[in-house]
Amino acid sequence: MSGRRRSTLELGHDAFLDIVANLVGILIILVVVLGTQTQRITEMLRDSAESELLIAEEDAAVVDELVPAPEKPVEAVASRAQLDQLGEMAMRAASAQRDSMRIEANLRRYNDQIAQLSEARGRLLDLKSIAEAAWEEKKSELDQSKVLTAKVQREIREVESEIAELAGTKDRLANEEAPLVAVEHLPTPMAKTVFGDEIDFRLKAGKLSLVPVERLMEEIKEDARRMTPRPGKDASTVGPVRDYVANYVVERQVGRVTQNGKTAMAMATRLGAVAFEPLDESVGQPISEVLRDRSFLDIELAGRDPHSTTITVWVYPDSFGELRQLKEHLYQRGFATAARPLLDGQAIIFSSSGTRSKAQ
């Protein structure tokens, strides 16, 4: 009888301890999962567990006092009220777990909604940037259109003002008597080809300089004699003479030559093109100084017969006005003048296939 009672007490005490251990494990899991949201429920469960443990210990102490010490530890049997309370706490824990899962599901749904709204916001920001860029472009085009319109209007006002001024000038001139204008001109006799003495001048940038053609041609003859006679073309340069040099080409060909009824092979030498160029493009004196002092021009014309001497002026486009002044002066002195226009950058070139100057 006594042995059977101790066995029953041991089984009940082990079951109660197992239940309490399981309950504590559940409480720990719920504390980790629920966190701060289930703090109140966790505290209630912890307090209940502690009270149950105290009650169990007190019951065990009472049993130990009433019952002699058995050979094995005596286990207490859980009461009906304790089991009901444990079941209620388990239901609360399950309810709390369901609430936690529902909250987590809501959080995931909210996170998905936030991600979708963030993506939509990014698209809206991109559209906003595109719209702003288009607006700035249209605004720039509008500003340019306004500037162009203002410019055209200003030009219109200027043209209208000019038209009004011209109209006033026209009316004033219509009411005035036409003045008599004396036109100075040089006589223009028939041009004739030059065969006598000829002096060459260069007129560029309003400056007149003498081209020493005769002296350079003499140096060309001497230089050509010193060359080794051989068929083909040879090029060389002579000078400077009075700030000019001459670049020339000599052509030699071997052919049959008949003389005194006899035919033989001989080498014929021919002077090709000759280019006269100044050492410095600014060579010469201004035409105003030449006509005022006359020292430079008087020296070049001294001792020459105006009837047999022709002056050839190689003139560039920037000095046509100075050429007219020079021709007036030379005409007064009785010299005929031949003008040879040149392009900018073109040298004075003599050639055996060229033409002679025509003087007036």
Tens-digit pLDDT profile for residues 270-314:
888 899 999 988 898 898 888 887 677 888 888 888 888 888 999
235-240's contacts with Cβ under 8 Å and 24+ in sequence apart are 240/279
Q: In what order do the strands lie in the sheet with 309-315?
A: 285-286, 207-211, 197-204, 309-315, 336-341
φ, ψ for residue 253, nearest 5 deg: -135, 145
Using CA atoms, how far apart are residues 333 and 305, in angstroms rounded to an integer? 11
> What letter represents residue 263's amino acid?
T
Q: Cβ-count burial of 284 within 10 angstroms (0-12 exposed, 13-18 middle, 19+ buried)?
A: buried
> Which helix (H) or strand (E) element contains residue 36?
none
Report which of 145, 156, 5, 148 is spatially closest to residue 67, judged by C-alpha positions. Answer: 5
**Which residues does the chain have with pLDDT short of 50?**
1-9, 62-63, 66-67, 74, 181-183, 185, 188-191, 194, 359-360
Residue of 1, 42, 5, 2 lying closest to 23 (CA atoms):
42
Half-sphere exposure (Cβ direction) of 16: Cα atoms closer than 13 Å: 24
Determine the pLDDT at residue 3: 47
* pLDDT value, residue 67: 45
For 292-322, give one letter per residue: b (16+ CB within 10 A) or e.
eeeebbeeebeeeeeeebbbbbbbbeebeeb
User: pLDDT per residue over 89-100, tens digit each?
Assistant: 888 888 888 888
| Per-residue exposure over 226-251, b if at least 16 CB sit within 10 Å of its own CB, e if not | eeeeeeeebeeebbebeebbbbbebe
Cβ–Cβ contacts within 10 Å for residue 288, how many?
11
- Reference 327, options 274, 287, 299; nearest CA is 287
Q: Which residues contact 246 (CB under 8 A, 6 or more apart)?
A: 216, 217, 219, 220, 237, 238, 239, 274, 275, 276, 277
Dist CA 197 CA 310 (whole Å) = 6
Edge-to-edge strand ranges of the sheet holding 348-350: 232-241, 244-259, 262-278, 348-350
Q: Long-range pairs for 236-240 at CB < 8 Å and ≥24 separation?
A: 240/279
CA distances from 308 to 39, 74, 131, 285 (A): 135, 164, 88, 26
| pLDDT value of position 61 | 55
Return the residue matching tokens 């080809």.
193
